Amino acid sequence: MVDPAYHAALQGLDGFSHLILIYWLQQAARTTLSITPPFDSEPRGIFATRAPSRPNPLGLSVAAFDGFAAPGVLRVRYLDCLDGTPLLDIKPYLHTTDSEPHATAGWLAPHLTRRG
């Protein structure tokens, strides 16, 4: 749900299939600088992971946008955060600038579930 003061900023979102949502991971730890991912045996620096515990706990998801459930209420799928997580910003996802088909995944490459 978007604060009513920002409803005018939502004008024009209809027609986009995906959104970039930036949010504040208010329950995440902020002191962890390395973790051992559950599917890996080596410790990794927090900046080399997608773990929520970050020095500055900003979260980012590309979510499928299914329109509005009501004024100011976005219908999204694939959002990776808890209910009640504060939303900081919304941007339309543009496949022409937000996708890099030749990007590599470093140490995560053997663990990826989707190829492409």
115 band by pLDDT with thresholds 50, 70 and 90: low
> pLDDT tens digits for 82-99?
888 999 999 999 999 999
Vertex 111: Cα angle to 110 and 113 (nearest 5): 115
Q: Which domains does the chain have, with CATH numbers?
A: 4-111 (2.40.30.70)
Judged against a pLDDT cut of 60, whether residue 116 lies above it is answered with no
Q: Which residue has the higher pLDDT, 52 or 11?
A: 11
Contact between residue 22 and residue 48 where contact means Cβ atoms under 8 Å apart: no
* C-alpha separations of 44 from 18, 23, 59, 65, 92 in Å: 30, 23, 19, 32, 31
